[in-house]
Amino acid sequence: MEKIFNNTAIAFALKSDSELEKAYFLFKMIANEPLVRIGTMVTNFALTVHLPVEGLIRATVFDHFCGGVNENDCLAVVDKMFSKGVSSVLDYSVEGKEEEEQFDAALKMTLKTIDFAKERHAIPFAVFKPTGLGRFELYEKISDHQSLTPEEKEEWDRVVARFDLVCHEAYQKDVGLLIDAEESWMQNATDELIVQMMRKYNKTKPIVYNTLQMYRKDRFDYLKNLHLQAKKEGFFIGIKLVRGAYMEKENERAEEKGYPTPICSSKEATDLNYNSVLHYIIEHLDTMALFAGTHNEESAYYLIELMHQKRIKENDKRIWFGQLYGMSDHISFNLAAYGYNVIKYVPFGPVKDVMPYLIRRAEENTSVAGQTSRELNLIKVERKRRKEN
């Protein structure tokens, strides 16, 4: 297959020379694992004791990985990317909140992003995180089949009502709705809730998308069972397919509590699992839609190949490729140049509240995690190309 992702001129067309230099220094910096570790500690401390570090964070990691502090800030980025055929999904990335008012605020923000999506061709989806709308421990208790106190039952009813409101709004406004996946020990409750929503709002087409983390050994079987259920009951399945972002946490907890880890035994096993489900969904597009959230070039090429084999048009609306803003532009912009449906997750929120998200990005981009060398190399290639032209 032609290696379309190697075209750095297309990948970085939106970056001025100075923006390219900035990206170069940023990726060089976060390739350094001890620096990221120490930087994370110092930054968290500085934010806790209210040192004025927000400006520094904004000028470095924040502006690279986020669209802004609020939804309106993001529109400049959204329009710019759409000029090259890359769509956006606005991702309110505030994490770790535990209060009812905060859940209601996240609900309001999610509803607003659905409105934004309704009004803009460049924003075909909305997204939310289950723990943005309810307490982690409550999901965990339900996932573990523990009984709830009367207060907790009422609390859960409010979570269900929030889910329903968001899904109903997306359905009414005909906007695809992605629901993120989190830790496995809270996911059963989310899965059940999402199936209820699919049953209600995916009757004629996929509106609600659940996320499958393919580092989990059980997810392919889960999908096959869901498929049987969907066929029997007559609803469509929307799937966001990712590898999974909480591997260390999953393995550590399994070891600590003495149960077998739910995570695949190797990276290769996860890759195989991911690609097998890509194949499965492409085989069943009559009842399924796919949002392939990945920075893995092999998986992206594999999906292209599957589409070619099945003679599926590049812009078939049942298939989307997704990457995170600030990462893997070589995949996003080259796919868009070839007419594929591509979306960037554009995170936004107050600087200190998106820190957990930024830390995850910095950590997965260290040289240890391996992603950066690819980003850095491509930026180097493009710098050289520009100097020679």
Ligand X SMILES: Cc1cc2nc3c(=O)[nH]c(=O)nc-3n(C[C@H](O)[C@H](O)[C@H](O)COP(=O)(O)OP(=O)(O)OC[C@H]3O[C@@H](n4cnc5c(N)ncnc54)[C@H](O)[C@@H]3O)c2cc1C
List residues binding ligand X (CB under 6 A).
180-181, 211, 213, 215, 242-247, 263-264, 266-267, 270, 293-296, 322-324, 345, 371
CA distances (Å), origin 343, targets 60, 81, 122, 328: 23, 9, 9, 12
Of 46 and 220, which has the nearer Cβ to ligand X? 220
Residue nearest to ligand X (CB): 293
Q: H or E element: which one contains 57?
A: helix 54-57
Of 59 and 368, which has the nearer Cβ to ligand X? 368
What totals of helices (H) and strands (E) does the chain contain, helices first? Answer: 18, 8
Of 155 and 297, which has the nearer Cβ to ligand X? 297
Determine the Cα–Cα distance for residues 68 and 70; give it in Å rounded to an integer. 6
Q: Are strands 125-128 and 87-92 parallel, antiparallel or unpaired?
A: unpaired
Q: How far is the CB of 147 from ligand X (least distance, A)?
A: 29
Task: Name 179's bridge partners.
Answer: 128
Of 93 and 294, which has the nearer Cβ to ligand X? 294
Q: How far is the CB of 148 from ligand X (least distance, A)?
A: 26
Say if residue 10 is exposed, middle or buried (CB neighbours under 10 Å; 0-12, 13-18, 19+).
buried
Of 156 and 357, which has the nearer Cβ to ligand X? 357
Determine the Cα–Cα distance for residues 38 and 58; give it in Å rounded to an integer. 18
Q: Which two tokens stand for residue 255?
A: 């070891």
Of 131 and 149, which has the nearer Cβ to ligand X? 131
CB-hemisphere CA count at 13 Å for 99? 3
Q: How far is the CB of 292 from ligand X (least distance, A)?
A: 8
Q: How far is the CB of 193 from ligand X (least distance, A)?
A: 15
Determine the Cα–Cα distance for residues 316 and 286; give it in Å rounded to an integer. 12
Q: How far is the CB of 89 from ligand X (least distance, A)?
A: 8
Q: Which two tokens stand for residue 85?
A: 């055929």
Of 87 and 211, which has the nearer Cβ to ligand X? 211
**3-class SS at 366?**
coil
Q: Which two tokens stand for residue 3?
A: 């290696």
Q: How far is the CB of 205 from ligand X (least distance, A)?
A: 21
Q: How far is the CB of 389 from ligand X (least distance, A)?
A: 31
Determine the Cα–Cα distance for residues 64 and 66; give it in Å rounded to an integer. 6
